[in-house]
Amino acid sequence: MIPVEDAQKLILAAVEAAPAERVDLLAAVGRVLAETVVARTDFPPYDNSAMDGYAVRATDAPLGTLEVIEVIAAGQMPDRPVGPGQCARIMTGAMLPAGADAVIMQEQVQAADGRIRFEGLPEAGTNVRRRGSFHPAGAPLLAAGSPIGPGEAAILAANGRSFVAVHRAPAVAILSTGDELVPIDALPGPVQIVDSNGYGLAAQTRAAGGIPRLLGIANDDPAVIGERLTAALDGADFVLTSGGASVGQFDYLPQVLEELGAEVVLYKINMKPGKPLLFARLGRRLVWGLPGNPVSSLFCFWQFVRPAIRKFQGYPEPFWRLPVVLARLDAPVRSKGDRRTYFRGQVRHGADGWLFQPNRTDNSGDLASLAGINAFAWLEAGVTAATEGEAIPVLLVGEFAAA
């Protein structure tokens, strides 16, 4: 059995960042920039006011009152320079008129009869945003490899980039195996269950930034699995199968992969849930044989598929794996100690730090126990218990609520 981190390393070593494609700016959000973007103009592009107020000559305005010579709105060129004894009414973002070098907030001014009165002159530069002071033209704004979130989207928009180069997202084919499985819209017979893993894995794929393609169900028949797997390779970067990877009499996946000439990179992880994970290279495709048990299959995705999707998408290394925090236990946990054991549950962050509430069940077949969970705490192999209040590592897999 391979330790979790070793397996992650072996899997990530098989993945390369994908080539770039040009996509529409909004489609680029959640993706990773594949080019360096430089500022096409100075930013701000012209000296402008940071406030609604009055543009004045800080250096030579006489104390007391000034004549208001015009009103300058954002988007409008000032008509004339501000001379001694003068000022201009100016709005936020409007161009600073020649002669003026500071802006007095309107709240600090009494205005009447085309003149203003105020106390104390501001220093030169007060409330003025100088051309190029935030960012000069030609300077790099976003480096290749930057994840694009809302802030980056706004930066790209400010530079007129309606299309940007991002790394391609992986096409992920998903095949469920098992004679007991029926499709989502069929009514299961007395010895059948609905294929839920396909949807769970497709949802995880989408959440991780991949493009899922549901291939349906293959029976527990090596010939059928081989055929469907071969068909799955077409147009896919990654292939996920669930079920049939264990040691049961009808678990054919290891055999089928071997027959197809796949190079099995690893099989069986030192963890619970999710021990019977298989990872193989099949030509340029990567194949994950995930366990059939619903919790195991989803957990293996978070641990071993999501990092690969992230690396493929061009994310820098710190973004490949899910974050881990140390959290105090809300209740004790117990394990057999034979493998590293993960406990599903809910983590939250409050005034006194991270707190983890383990779920009551740890049965890997108990699909319902996944509702509302956002984290997995763990005990290392050889450790059989942790007490309430003890701090143990917790893998964050979902969103957490504000405390």
Question: How many amino acids of this chain bind Mg ion (CB under 5 A)?
Answer: 4
In the complex with ligand AMP, the residue whose CB is nearer, 112 or 371, is 371
Cα separation of 376 and 395, whole Å? 5
Contact assessment for residue 32 and residue 145, using Cβ atoms and an 8 Å cutoff: yes
Helices marked H in 42-191: 150-158
**Residues linked to residue 67 through DSSP beta bridges, in sequence order:** 86, 115
Q: Which does 193 bind (CB under 5 to 8 A by kind): ligand AMP, Mg ion, none?
A: ligand AMP
Q: Does 178 bind Mg ion (CB under 5 A)?
A: yes
Contacts of 344 (CB under 8 A, 6+ apart): 295, 299, 358, 359, 362, 369, 370, 373, 375, 376
Q: Which does 180 bind (CB under 5 to 8 A by kind): Mg ion, ligand AMP, none?
A: ligand AMP
List the structure tokens of 42.
């100075």
In the complex with ligand AMP, the residue whose CB is nearer, 226 or 244, is 244
User: What is the torsional sign of CA 370, 376, 381, 386?
Assistant: negative
Name which of 302, 308, 243 is nearest 276 in CA terms: 243
- Residue 220's alpha-carbon distances to 50, 76, 234, 244, 248, in angstroms, are 69, 72, 22, 7, 11
In the complex with Mg ion, the residue whose CB is nearer, 35 or 366, is 366
Q: Does 254 bind Mg ion (CB under 5 A)?
A: no
Q: Which does 195 bind (CB under 5 to 8 A by kind): ligand AMP, Mg ion, none?
A: ligand AMP
**70-76: long-range contacts, CB 8 A cutoff, minimum separation 24:** 70/97, 72/97, 74/48
Q: Does 243 bind Mg ion (CB under 5 A)?
A: yes
In the complex with ligand AMP, the residue whose CB is nearer, 140 or 248, is 248
Minimum gap (Å) between residue 152 Cβ and ligand AMP: 37
Q: Which does 366 bind (CB under 5 to 8 A by kind): ligand AMP, Mg ion, none?
A: none
In the complex with Mg ion, the residue whose CB is nearer, 244 or 273, is 244
Q: Does 291 bind Mg ion (CB under 5 A)?
A: no
In the complex with ligand AMP, the residue whose CB is nearer, 246 or 341, is 246
In the complex with Mg ion, the residue whose CB is nearer, 198 or 292, is 292
List the structure tokens of 112.
């009447």
Q: Which does 181 bind (CB under 5 to 8 A by kind): ligand AMP, Mg ion, none?
A: ligand AMP
Minimum gap (Å) between residue 180 Cβ and ligand AMP: 5
Assign residue 172 a region: left if phi > 0, alpha if psi is -120 to 50, beta otherwise? beta
> Can you give the binding site for ligand AMP, defined by CB under 6 A?
176, 178, 180-181, 193, 195-198, 242-246, 248, 251, 291-294, 365
Minimum gap (Å) between residue 303 Cβ and Mg ion: 21
> What residues make contact with Mg ion under the rule CB under 5 A?
178, 243-244, 292
